[in-house]
Every structure is written in structure tokens, then in C-alpha cells.
Amino acid sequence: MEITYASPSSTDFADGSSMPTSTRPVRIIPLQHPSTTSSSSSASSSTWAALSRWKSKVQSMTWVEWLEVFLPCTRWIRTYKWREYLQVDLMSGITVGVMLVPQSMSYAKLAGLEPIYGLYSGFVPLFVYAIFGSSRQLAVGPVALVSLLVSNVLSGIVDSSDELYTEMAILLAFMVGVMECLLGLLRLGWIIRFISHSVISGFTTASAIVIALSQAKYFLGYNVARSSKIVPLIKSIISGADGFSWPPFVMGSVILAVLLIMKHLGKTRKCLRFLRAAGPITAVLSGTIFVKIFNPSSISLVGDIPQGLPSFSIPRAFGYATSLIPTALLITGVAILESVGIAKALAAKNGYELDSNQELFGLGVANIFGSFFSAYPTTGSFSRSAVNHESGAKTGLSGLVMGVLMGCALLFMTPLFEYIPQCALAAIVISAVIGLVDYDEAIFLWGVDKKDFLLWTITSTTTLFLGIEIGVLVGVGVSLAFVIHESANPHIAVLGRLPGTTVYRNTQQYPEAYTYNGIVIVRIDAPIYFANISYIKDRLREYEVEVDRSMSRGPEVERIYFVIIEMAPVTYIDSSAVQALKDLHQEYKLRDIQIAISNPNREVLMTLSSAGVVDLIGKEWYFVRVHDAVQVCLQHVQSLKETPKAADPSSEERLTSFQRLIKQRTEDSSVAELESGSKDIDPQLEPLLSRKSS
């Protein structure tokens, strides 16, 4: 596209004839404008193209690929390297299995269940996940946070000593599994992205403190109120201080110290990595040996644990399903946040692809089958998965080894578990959750982003004082409020031209960039839709009035004549924004201001074209680059600034060819000054307008 404006050009002076009036061409890159028909047909054709691609992909899939979709374990089974993988898988499976046995009993006690149900939860789900799960290093089973959630909701409905309590915990596993499967099949795992990392960190930090305080009763020797709020727990601990017993406190403290030392050495010393996994079994063995030798009456023991594998049974207590839905949703959210996040990180470290939705489906199937064998909700464990990865696990075979080890414990070792001190299991829980107290994250957020630090503080405080459910709801609500606020108040920048270039950048980021009198260049760094269009309109009006003239160049005019909107970052524009753009155009038209649009993407341009905005503003005011728009607008501002003068033919005729040449060079110099805005800058460094002769 070529737009031509009246301006003198050099001519051939050889013949000494008078200089004719000619035009000075300004060449700009043409912008392709789609028609309304082509835009609608293009949208429909793109939809059909996507459907056809999906159909062809499905038709081209082989039976092996279909098998990998439904049974992800076939991916590593088909490529298993026996000599390279077998030994490390066996060792890592045994290592984590030894860690899982005492942890599962500890977490079952935290959930308000008998230790045997923790062992059941660490048995069947491991085998099922190894078949349907897509992660090769994730270690599933009971975890502290889910156990606390189970205890928190069920203790408010029925007493933990009642059989109904156990039935509801098993039903909860079934409900969580169904929800996870549905989210995976419908590919809705992306919903959880709206919860920020600050909310997760604040929630887990507060939960870890509550979990640690809930285990204090096994250290102190007297009962403490069961609650997910910190105030009732502290009140209960203080009020029952007269029942304090020294033996369990000393034993629990010593075991906890040993666990923390072994955990620290296992993390910091590569040659002592085995200590991290050996910590829980060491605590159990040392506590059991002490009890067998000295038989102290003041230390409570786990007691009798049924021997044998769990039997098949259908979950019951479906009459309470409605009241369990919020907790099932919360546990599902924790599974997505923790398990899928850990699984994706481990997959990236080990060089294979992992589908979040398929992973969610695998966790769901594991929970459903687990509920048929008396398991309460399970998910991926951060600590055990880390140990599994550090031990060198290559495939899901390590998970099968964990399951076999748990089966052996159920068949042959439960008589030995009878003498495990309760304070030893409590020490295992406390040592595991101490790592969840993420104060380093709070310090980091304070230095990086005060808004995220505020979000972390709100979530952790409400979780501590108002309970887990309210804490999560408040944290998610505030997080979404921040998202909505950022979306409704997008970043808008005034652009200026960098000296010696045709590049336009934010004037606040680049103070040396300058603007032109009579022209405002604005960049909108967000999609434009109903929630933010009012804010954008208000800011555009402000820019029209509040113009920084200290860095402005070009013709001396008193007001704004052109508003150039850079739309490169705008990925989407809705009908409300289109109507607002029309209204803004009418407002500007009444004040003799012209809108110019720069670099809209294809979808935005088709929307504007379909709505008639392109024709309303004028096709000639749509440009590929900001530079093109500035060229045209600057010419218009200059023409408004100059007052036309009648030419004197007699004086023109009296000019010699040499005089006409001097005049032409003077005019070209004035054009260069117009472009650069200053007489001190070399015109060759400010190539805004074409000076090519016509």
C-alpha cells in the first residue's frame, strides 16, 4: 500500500526550467484486511481442520499405542533393560518399602484409624498405580496432609472409635478415586492452575504445624483435643499439663532427634543417602527393642494388629456421601497439586513424557481399587518419591517391589508391630512434616513480591486459626481475586522511539525514548474483554490529557490529534470491547482525534472486521508497524501545523537553478528536523520518512 502526501521533491535541474510541484511518497507495509465472509469461513475451516487432524490421529494409532493409552505400564515394559534396570529397581523398591511400612501405620493413626488400615492403604494401591499410573518414580500411599484432612472431617461426624468412622474413610477413598478419574477423563486438570504456589506453600506450612501439634499427645502422655485449629490444640495441651508423663516424652524426643539427624545426613552426604530411608524403620526397631527389654508401663503401644491380606469388600455408608463431597474435592485438589507436580518434575529429570490427565486417572483408579480392599485415600508422597528417585528407580517395577514388601509385612510381621511405641510413630510423623514448614518460601516472597507474601500469610494464618477447609477457601478466593484484579487492570505502556532506530519501547523503561507532539502511542499488554475495557478506556483518556512534553519532538502543537494503539500483545478481543472501541472512536471523532491501530493479530483483526470496526475507523488507519503509523500521523500533524501560502509565480520564475537546489536542500533539512524532532541530530540516524526522489 502506498499513501502519498503533498511535499516538494528534487527534480532535474539540468534544463534550468522552473521546478514543478510534486508529491513526496511515504511507503508503508500493506496490512491485509480480511472480509467478514472470509473471517467466518476461516473460523469454521480452522475448526474442521482441528477435527480432521484429531480424527486422522485416532485412525492412525496402532494397537500398541492404544494399549499404552489405557495401560501406561506397557511403555516401560516393552523397553525394559533387565541388566541395567533390574538391580536398581529392586534396591529402590526395598528401600522405600522399608520406609513405607512404619510411615503407613503412623499416618493411619494421624487419620484416626487403626494402624492396619495404613498398611492396607500401602498395599493394593501400589500394584494398581504401577499398572495405570504413568510416572515411573512416584511412590503412592498414605501421606500426612491427606490423613489430617480425613481426620478433620470424619471426627466432626462420628467418633473415631466407631466402626462407621472406618467405613466413611474407605468411602472417602472411593469418592476421591471417582473424582480423580472424571477429572482425568474430561481433561480438567488445568483447573488447579488457578491456585498459586503461594497458597499451596502457606496451606502446607500451616497444616504441618497443626499435624505436629496433633501428635503431641503421644509425647506428653495425655489426651489432646482433636482439632484442625491451632487455638483449641494449644488450649488442650496447656489444660492437661498435670497429666504429663516423662517416659514417653524422653523416648519420643530421642527418637525424633535420631530421625532428624539421619534425615539431615542423608540429604547432605551423598555417601549416607541410605540413612534418610532407614530413619523410620530405625525408629520403630529401636523403640520396639527398648519396650521388649524394659517393658515400661507408662509408654502406650500400638497393640494387636490383624495378620493377613485385606479381603475384598464394597465400600458402605453411602448415606454420608453428600457430606463428604467437599473433603473429597479438597483431597483431589491436593492430589493434583502435589502428586502430579512431583510426577512431572521426576519425569523431566528422567527424560520421559508425562500426561497430567493420564496421571490423574491412574491415581483415581488406584484409590477406587484400594477402597475395595479397605484402604483410605492415598496419593503420591513427596518424601518417598524423592527417596525412590535418589535410589535410582527407573520404572514402575520399584512400586511393585514396595507392594510385595508390604504384603510380606501383612502376612508375617504384624505380630512384631504390637510392641511399637505410639511415640515412635508420632516421631515419624513429626519428622516427615517438619520439611513442609516452608518459611524459606515466605522470606523469598517478601524479597521478590509483597503481594505473594501477603497471599502466603493470609492462607497460612486462616488455616491455622480457622481450620483447613476455611483456610483453603480463603486462600483460593484471595488468589482468584488477585488474578481477576490483574486481568481487569492490565499493564498499559506509552511508547517512544529509541534514538537512531525505528524501534518503539516503553518510555518508563527506556527514558531516552522520545515521543512526538500531537501523537500518543499506547501498547495494551493483555487481551481486551468486558472486565478490563473500562479501565483501558479510562487510561486512554488520561494519556490524551497527561502528556509528557519533556521528551516530545516534532511540530509544535498544543493538543493530541492521533492515538496509536499497538495491539501486538492483544491475543483476544470480545464483543464488549468491540462496542467500547466504537464508542471511543465516536468520542475521539467529536474532539477531532483519530485512532490508528498497529499490528493486530489475525483473530483480533477478523473480530474487528466482522464487527465493522475496520470500516468505521478506516482501513487506511490500520498498520503493520508502529513506525508506519507514526510516519502517516506525523505527516498529518505537520500539514495541520503549516498554513498554506499562495505561490508567487513571478518570484519562482526569477529563481535560478542553483537557488532552487538550495531551497530544496533546506526543505529536505526541515523534513529531517521534523522526523528527529531536533536540529542537533544527524538526519541519517533518524530515517523516519522516505527521502527518495520521485
pLDDT of residue 203: 87
pLDDT category of residue 254 using cuts at 50, 70 and 90:
very high
Mean pLDDT calculated for residue range 15-38: 53
pLDDT digits (tens, 9 = 90+) for 380-421: 998 899 889 888 889 999 999 999 999 999 999 999 898 999
Average pLDDT score over residue span 606-613: 90
- Interacting residues of 473 by C-beta distance below 8 A, sequence separation 6+: none
Question: CB of 172 within 8 A of CB of 152?
Answer: no
Top-confidence range, 28-42, 165-179, 492-506: 165-179
CB 407 within 8 A of CB 123: yes
CA gap 655, 112 in Å, rounded: 106
Return all residues near 578 (Cβ < 8 A) that are at least 6 apart: 607, 608, 611, 613
Q: Please give the grid coordinates belonging to residue 651.
A: 518570484
Q: 295-323: b or e for each residue (b if 16 or more CB lie within 10 Å)? A: eeeebebbeebeeeebeeeebebeebeee
| Residues 6+ away with beta carbon under 8 Å from 608 | 573, 578, 581, 597, 600, 614
- What per-residue string of b and e applies to 355-382 under the rule 16 or more CB within 10 Å gives b? bbbbbbbbbbbbbbbbbbbbbbbbbbbb
Write the CB contacts of 590 (distance below 8 Å, at least 6 apart in sequence): none
Task: For the beta carbon of residue 516, count every other beta carbon within 10 angstroms.
Answer: 25
CA dihedral 409, 410, 411, 417 (to 10 degrees): 70
Q: Which three cell numbers stand for residue 637?
A: 500533524
Q: Please give the mean pLDDT across all residues of the chain.
A: 83
Residue ranges matching CATH 3.30.750.24 in the chain: 489-641
Helix axis angle for 197-214 and 439-448, nearest 10°, is 150
Per-residue pLDDT for 270 more than 70?
yes
Sign of CA dihedral 389, 393, 394, 396: negative
Dihedrals phi, psi of 16, to nearest 5 degrees: 70, 15
- Closest alpha carbon to 635 in 609, 603, 671: 671
- Give the model's pLDDT for residue 557: 80
Q: Read off the pLDDT of each residue in 347-375 and give the average, rounded to a whole number.
A: 90
Would you say 683 and 675 are in contact if contact means Cβ atoms under 8 Å apart?
Answer: yes
d(CA 444, CA 449): 8
pLDDT on residue 35: 62
Length of the chain: 694
* Percentage of the chain lying above the pLDDT 90 cut: 38
Lowest mean pLDDT among 339-348, 535-544, 564-573, 682-691: 682-691
C-alpha dist (Å) from residue 212 to 154, 215, 219, 434, 454: 19, 5, 11, 8, 24
pLDDT beyond 70 at 140: yes
Give residues with Cβ within 8 angstroms of 41, minimum separation 6.
Answer: none
Q: Smallest Cα–Cα separation from 373: which of 655, 156, 177, 638?
A: 177
**Cα–Cα dist 626/42, whole Å:** 27
- Helix spans in 335-421 (H): 341-350, 356-371, 382-390, 397-408, 414-417
Please tell me the distance from the alpha carbon of residue 32 to that of residue 1, in angstroms, as a whole number.
10
- Cα 491 to Cα 404, 405, 513, 527, 560: the distances in Å are 56, 57, 19, 11, 22
User: CA-CA distance, 635 to 643, in Å (whole number)?
Assistant: 14
Model pLDDT for residues 161-198, shown as the tens digit of each residue: 899 999 999 999 999 999 999 998 888 877 777 777 88
Beta strand extents in 70-185 (DSSP E only): 140-141
Residue in this structure with the C-alpha cell 501523537, named with its chain if needed:
519
Q: Name the CATH topology of 489-641.
A: Transcription Regulator spoIIAA (3.30.750)
**What mean pLDDT comes out for the span 281-299?**
89
Least confident segment among 170-179, 240-249, 511-520, 665-674? 665-674
Tens of pLDDT, residues 68-122? 778 888 888 888 888 889 999 999 999 899 989 999 999 999 999 999 999 999 9
pLDDT for position 597: 93
Q: Greater confidence, 42 or 228?
A: 228
Cα gap 60→51, rounded to integer Å: 14
The top-scoring range by mean pLDDT among 347-356, 513-522, 652-661 is: 513-522
Going by pLDDT thresholds of 50, 70 and 90, the confidence category of residue 549 is: low
Q: Is the pLDDT of residue 125 over 90?
A: yes
Q: How many CB atoms lie within 10 A of CB 213?
A: 19
CB crowding 104-134: b at 16 or more within 10 Å, else e: bbbbbbbbbbbbbbbbbbbbbbbbbbbbbbb
Q: What number of helices (H) and strands (E) belong to the chain? A: 30, 12
What pLDDT, on a 0 to 100 scale, did the predictor assign at position 467?
86
The mean pLDDT value for 646-657 works out to 46
Dihedral sign computed on CA atoms, order 317, 321, 323, 329: positive
Of 662, 171, 214, whose CA–CA distance to 429 is shortest? 214
**How far, in Å, CA of 476 to CA of 149, rounded?**
17
What is the structure's pLDDT at 430?
Answer: 92
Query: What span, in angstroms and rounded, lies between the C-alpha atoms of 301 and 423?
Result: 8
Q: Hey, what's the cell of 677?
A: 524532532
What CA–CA distances, in Å, run from 535 to 488, 528, 541, 614?
7, 10, 10, 22
Q: To which residue does cell 530411608 refer? A: 277
Average pLDDT, stretch 599-603? 89
Q: For residue 480, what pLDDT band results from cuts at 50, 70 and 90?
A: confident
Q: Given this model, what pLDDT does residue 504 score? A: 93
Q: pLDDT (tens digit, 9 = 90+) per residue, 291-349?
A: 988 888 888 899 889 999 999 999 988 989 998 998 899 888 887 777 887 888 888 88
Taking the CB of residue 351, how many other CB atoms lie within 10 A of it? 6
Provide the pLDDT for residue 694.
34
Residue 373 pLDDT more than 90? yes
Using a pLDDT cut of 70, give the percent of the chain over it. Answer: 85
